[in-house]
Amino acid sequence: MIKADKTFIIKRCDLQALFDVVIARGYMPVGPTVREGVIVYDELRSVQDLPEGWTEDQDAGTYRLKRRDDSALFGFNNGPHSWKKYLFPPRSKLWEGKKTDDGGFTLKEAEDTQKPFAFIGVRSCDLHAIQVQDKVFMNEHHPDPLYAGRRDQALIIVVNCGQAAKTCFCTSMNTGPRAESGYDLSLTEILEGDDHYFVAEPGSAKGFSLLAEIPHTEAGGENITAAEKCTKRAVEQMGRKIDISDIKELLYRNYGNERWDELEKRCLACGNCTMACPTCFCSKVEDVTDLTGDHAERWREWDSCFTMDFSYIHGGSARKTVRSRYRQWLTHKLAAWLDQFGASGCVGCGRCITWCPVGIDLTEEVRLIRDSENQKDIANG
């Protein structure tokens, strides 16, 4: 239910003011823009950089950009990028060291010189994904300084979904399609005839102060109804669903299920699913030196549990087969994560389904594992 006492209207023609205020306050605005046939996240300078009039068709292993018949600015769903590329960059320097003239070695920790980010257009599932990564990178025992610094400073502007892709299943994971909290400002885009505006709800002091500098008016009952209809439409269009009741026990019980053998035949172990997933957090550390040997650097890079090296321990890899790697990924995401972090590692964004080159769909895999148990029950009377 949208609360009328803190709901406002920003007209489409005034949205540039949001960018101007964010930039004037020293943020780097990042958000959706069209590049090379997909909607990616990149630096935005103005409203003109948004994917106006674009949408996409998504399905297992399929993504096609296409034109809309209106001028919606956020009329699409998730693309291959997620906000983790800003908070937990694909590659980041940890430290560098130099030999000194007296034969010693100086070491300097890398400093983050990045301006604070303003994330424009965060979807509800991705807001939950950020909260999942917070548990990994901002836990009280081992906080990650790069992630924590960027996260603390980031401004989060949500855009509630008014449509869902065929690969979306946030309703099954209780993560969307409407954001309830955890943002600075939330927007719901409304297009009705010639009217084009955003229903705006500040969610923090920062959000209220931002809104104060953008032309706005109080929302009326009809605007709130329009925003609620928008959410309802996204719920009705939800392309996939997954039954997560007793999911942890289901997957733990099915360590030996034959379905993993089928996945061994299909999965390419390319790791696309882990790169596209907004919650996957694995990384490796690489040391590099220059040719003189006087200068060394240590870098952190995204890694994937689908690589052979990922589980390498003395004497070989613990997960030699693709079967065991897919099972590890799915079981960690949907089951072990609950034990480890008290939350699911999946927010139902659908990226791993769209960006899997062979169209492996985790919702289908869980359903088939569940069905195989039910069939066994029937066979055993």
Applying CB under 6 A, which residues contact ligand SF4? 267-273, 276-279, 306, 333, 346-352, 356-358, 360, 362
Nearer to ligand SF4, 231 or 304 (CB): 304
Instruction: Tell the smallest beta-carbon distance from residue 169 to ligand SF4 (Å).
Output: 7
Instruction: Tell the smallest beta-carbon distance from residue 110 to ligand SF4 (Å).
Output: 28
How far is the C-alpha of 115 from the C-alpha of 111, rounded, in Å?
Answer: 12
How far is the C-alpha of 235 from the C-alpha of 182, rounded, in Å?
Answer: 21
Nearer to ligand SF4, 230 or 362 (CB): 362
Nearer to ligand SF4, 72 or 276 (CB): 276
Q: Give how far Cα 203 sits from Cα of 139, 158, 179, Å.
A: 23, 10, 10
Nearer to ligand SF4, 22 or 244 (CB): 244
Query: Residue holding tokens 């003189």?
Result: 292
Instruction: Tell the smallest beta-carbon distance from residue 276 to ligand SF4 (Å).
Output: 6
Instruction: Tell the smallest beta-carbon distance from residue 285 to ligand SF4 (Å).
Output: 22
DSSP state of 110: P
Q: Which residues of 212-249 are buried (b: 16+ CB within 10 A; e: fewer)?
A: eebebeebeeebbebbeebbeebeebbbbebebeebbe
Nearer to ligand SF4, 7 or 133 (CB): 133
Pairing label, strands 155-159, 117-122 = parallel
Nearer to ligand SF4, 201 or 303 (CB): 303
Helix axes 124-137, 145-153, angle to 10 degrees: 140
**8 Å CB contact between 42 and 56:** no
Instruction: Tell the smallest beta-carbon distance from residue 351 to ligand SF4 (Å).
Output: 4
Instruction: Tell the smallest beta-carbon distance from residue 113 to ligand SF4 (Å).
Output: 30
